[in-house]
Chain A
């Protein structure tokens, strides 16, 4: 039953991990080699991942039994349409890593590079594992690999405040991981199994009841913390703003999506078991999503620091995704699933462009950076493309998803939320217009800005590639949409409404 590219499934997870473990040995003599090594490992991992996606496209979802143990006795890896997210994820890493080569010069001494790239590879490997595992306890272990490396990545760049932000992130993240472990133990006590498909089957026999509901709620709260939904978002802005820019791109674009993917996994199990009435829960998601959109955008308006502004904008965009999932209509869920990817792309563009500007000028507030577009036209243009994209204006990647989610709101008869979405987009529009206005139409006030130069090519090229992709995906937005459509349509009949 394991045939073709399915064989590569465990190796795709293990490769970045082993690459990370080998980084200190590889870079023992020349620490700067670590960056190239990490890039090479990620390239190979992406090749494996594209094989997996090819297999998925030709034969449909497939599983791999680790150790050859029949289900549910061993650990099952499952590659379905939601897992396909690992390919764009790895490709984004492949673009982000070259950016970090030069960027790190100002951030850390050379001898710490091997540890930094090891963490980055562990982070990537953990996310791949998280997306493909079919076992609840394994999901927890991968969550910890991702979380632990993320906490550290926040603090690598700065002293004092960075460590404080990372520690805040660590405390909140660790509590949410504990809730996840608690929920796993709860399900295990109820069913005697850890395999997701098997748990779903046994849960159906157990029936509903308060214990099942508490397990579900613990998962939901845990994943909401990981995605930084509005009431539990407090860890995100500081952590994402203070991290080095390539790390911010990874954290904001990809690590927060862990919560979304996890939520989808838990949904799959509980709906397959059909033991809970989830309409009410969906409604809660819709409300939290809508509040996140508006509050995230609202706070973003008042930020002068560009990275802090981008961090709040992440909260708002996660709100869009959660709102889409909660609406539970085909259009909305498809739009939300694709926005998981598109937001990662757009946020990576914005954070890397911001990073290039910060690297060249050492400044990070809108008021200091007035007029920067004159000296750094290409980076500023990429920033503009990202901004237009994230607002969701037509020729760009952001438009397609938000349009689908809005359509979904009207389709499911929840028009007010459609308006909340448009209202949120208006807020987002305001703060990005503020940024573009400062960059393009105001006189420089800072000497550094007047004398700034474009970033070196190793930083400029990734930014330009990402910005171009934002535009291309605006035109070809139908491809990812049609890709997730079958998965969503398969899942939806169970989806509460």
Chain B
């Protein structure tokens, strides 16, 4: 126990408690949250956006601008990790991977055959699950980000079993910059198309549900691809 840190925590806790207990009760139907802007989303969201999942409607349509820069944030994380110096001053190559390479002739850290078998067995099913989340995201819980997380999990699990180099080869060097930027680029493209179609940046044609759905799906695929590749790459870069 460090008394000064406890004091600091109490100092922060007091105003926060005072703040939250004076909020309107959250469960009540007449709380401001349920009478504010959300009312319109619930009343007209499906008709205006074509999304039955209103979280997706808010994420991609009403507040698509937030989501645009959310995918930019995760791209920033990748750029940050790539811009940092690698390894230690004495051994710029990165010690653990290099040592493993020297010892085994490959960069695979040995794993139990059971783990290896289970991971390889499960990978296709995980991929199916990710695709289901991606393409059913407009009517069920799920969507691009969730799919991206599962895709990245497949990459990482396979990377542990097969070695990061072999998994990295799945993405050709020439494609890599485009795949990493897939999510922000998809948003920029849809923003431009929306601008052409409706006259508003990132606008969706509210009267044409087919076009709307196609644009939404394009964004989701972009997010899933870009997000997945970035998350997997973050892991690989951190390891080496």
Task: Enumerate chain A interface residues (CB-CB to B < 8 A).
Answer: 2, 10-11, 14, 17-18, 20-22, 24-25, 28, 64-69, 72-75, 108, 112, 114-116, 118-119, 122, 125-126, 129, 135, 137-138, 141-142, 144-145, 148-149, 151-153, 155-156, 158-160, 163, 182, 186, 188-195, 198, 202, 206, 209-211, 213-215, 217-218
Q: Is B113 an interface residue (CB 8 A)?
A: no
Bound together, the chains give a CA A209 to CA B70 distance in angstroms of 33
Q: Point out the residue from B36, B65, B79, B203 that lies within 8 Å of A75, measured CB to CB.
A: B65
Question: Can you pick out 6 interface pairs between chain A and chain B where the beta carbons lie within 8 Å of each other?
Answer: A68-B199, A73-B62, A75-B65, A135-B66, A152-B80, A209-B22
Candidate in B26, B177, B185 with the most chain A CB atoms within 10 angstroms: B177
Contact B73–A75 (Cβ < 8 Å)? no
Q: Is B24 an interface residue (CB 8 A)?
A: yes
Bound together, the chains give a CA A147 to CA B80 distance in angstroms of 11
Contact B200–A193 (Cβ < 8 Å)? no
Contact B79–A192 (Cβ < 8 Å)? no
Beyond A10-B191, A145-B76, whether A73 also contacts B83 by CB under 8 A is: no
Q: Is B178 an interface residue (CB 8 A)?
A: yes
Q: Point out the residue from B26, B83, B204 that lies within 8 Å of A116, measured CB to CB.
A: B83
Q: Point out the residue from B20, B36, B65, B85 that lies within 8 Å of A159, measured CB to CB.
A: B85
**13 further A-B pairs in the complex, CB-CB below 8 A; given A68-B203, A69-B61, A163-B84:** A2-B199, A25-B181, A28-B177, A64-B201, A67-B61, A68-B199, A114-B82, A125-B72, A149-B80, A152-B84, A156-B85, A192-B38, A213-B19
Q: Is B64 an interface residue (CB 8 A)?
A: yes
Contact A218–B19 (Cβ < 8 Å)? yes
Contact A192–B33 (Cβ < 8 Å)? yes
Q: Is B140 an interface residue (CB 8 A)?
A: no
Contact B35–A152 (Cβ < 8 Å)? no
Beyond A72-B37, A191-B36, whether A148 also contacts B76 by CB under 8 A is: yes
Contact B79–A149 (Cβ < 8 Å)? yes
The 10 closest A-B pairs by CB, nearest first: A192-B36, A214-B19, A68-B200, A152-B80, A25-B177, A115-B83, A21-B181, A115-B82, A192-B32, A24-B177
Contact B15–A138 (Cβ < 8 Å)? no
Contact B89–A159 (Cβ < 8 Å)? yes
Q: Point out the residue from B36, B181, B185 that lies within 8 Å of A193, measured CB to CB.
A: B36
Beyond A189-B26, A214-B15, whether A141 also contacts B69 by CB under 8 A is: yes
Task: Find the B residue at minimum CB distance from A133.
Answer: B65
Q: How near does chain A come to B35, taking the closest CB pair, in angstroms? A: 6
* 0/1 interface trace, chain B 97-140, chain A, CB 8 Å (1 if under): 00000000000000000000000000000000000000000000
Contact A149–B76 (Cβ < 8 Å)? yes
Q: Is B194 an interface residue (CB 8 A)?
A: yes
Task: Find the A residue at minimum CB distance from B178.
Answer: A25
- Chain A residues with Cβ below 8 Å from B72 are 17, 20-21, 122, 125, 145
Task: Enumerate chain B interface residues (CB-CB to A < 8 A).
Answer: 15-16, 18-20, 22-24, 26, 31-38, 40-41, 61-66, 68-70, 72-73, 75-77, 79-85, 88-89, 174, 176-178, 180-181, 184-185, 188, 191, 194, 198-204
Beyond A74-B63, A218-B19, whether A118 also contacts B33 by CB under 8 A is: no
Task: Find the B residue at minimum CB distance from A13.
Answer: B69
Beyond A129-B69, A138-B65, whether A192 also contacts B85 by CB under 8 A is: no
Task: Find the A residue at minimum CB distance from B33.
Answer: A192
- Chain B residues with Cβ below 8 Å from A141 are 66, 69-70, 73
Contact A192–B35 (Cβ < 8 Å)? yes
Bound together, the chains give a CA A116 to CA B206 distance in angstroms of 40
Bound together, the chains give a CA A17 to CA B79 distance in angstroms of 12
Task: Find the B residue at minimum CB distance from A74.
Answer: B62
- Chain B residues with Cβ below 8 Å from A151 are 80
Q: Point out the residue from A67, A144, A152, A188 that lies within 8 Å of B79, measured CB to CB.
A: A152
Contact A206–B188 (Cβ < 8 Å)? no
Contact A190–B37 (Cβ < 8 Å)? no
Contact A145–B65 (Cβ < 8 Å)? no
Bound together, the chains give a CA A75 to CA B40 distance in angstroms of 15
Contact A119–B37 (Cβ < 8 Å)? no
Q: How near does chain A come to B60, taking the closest CB pair, in angstroms? A: 10
- Chain B residues with Cβ below 8 Å from A69 are 61-62
Bound together, the chains give a CA A359 to CA B37 distance in angstroms of 54
- Chain B residues with Cβ below 8 Å from A206 are 32
Q: Point out the residue from A67, A192, A218 that lies within 8 Å of B62, measured CB to CB.
A: A67
- Chain B residues with Cβ below 8 Å from A11 are 201
Contact B201–A186 (Cβ < 8 Å)? no
Q: How near does chain B come to A128, taking the closest CB pair, in angstroms? A: 11
Q: Point out the residue from A24, A118, A194 that lies within 8 Å of B37, measured CB to CB.
A: A194
- Chain A residues with Cβ below 8 Å from B81 are 152
Contact A73–B23 (Cβ < 8 Å)? no
Q: How near does chain B come to A144, taking the closest CB pair, in angstroms? A: 5
Q: How near does chain B come to A247, taking the closest CB pair, in angstroms? A: 11
Bound together, the chains give a CA A446 to CA B35 distance in angstroms of 71
